[in-house]
Amino acid sequence: MPQPPHVDRAPTVTPLRVVIGLCLLAPFVAMLWVGSYARVDPAFIGIPFFYWYQMAWVLLSTALTATAYRLWQRDQRARGARTGGGRR
């Protein structure tokens, strides 16, 4: 009975995957490090720093998550082309 071809399913750490991880980790680190933004000054159009910093991270988090998603898609396409398989 013929054996199926060996397919390496082990996770591989690549520079692209490290960038994806950093894109997803950055908002958590920024928001959990409260000491970096727990202050009033500098105010932006009358809004204390504490509030506008958090709102800025909402937008940044959206952009970073979208970037991570696009990079993940690129990684999966490249991995599928390398292994000769398609998407499942």
Predicted structure pTM score: 0.75
**What angle, 0 to 180 degrees and rounded to 10, lies between the N-to-C axes of helices 15-32 and 49-83?**
160
The answer for residues whose C-beta is within 8 angstroms of residue 41's C-beta and 6 or more apart is 48, 49
In whole angstroms, give the CA distance from residue 43 to residue 53: 10
pLDDT in tens, 18-75: 999 999 999 999 999 988 888 888 988 999 999 999 999 999 999 999 999 999 999 9
Domain range summary for the chain, segments of one domain joined by +:
15-79
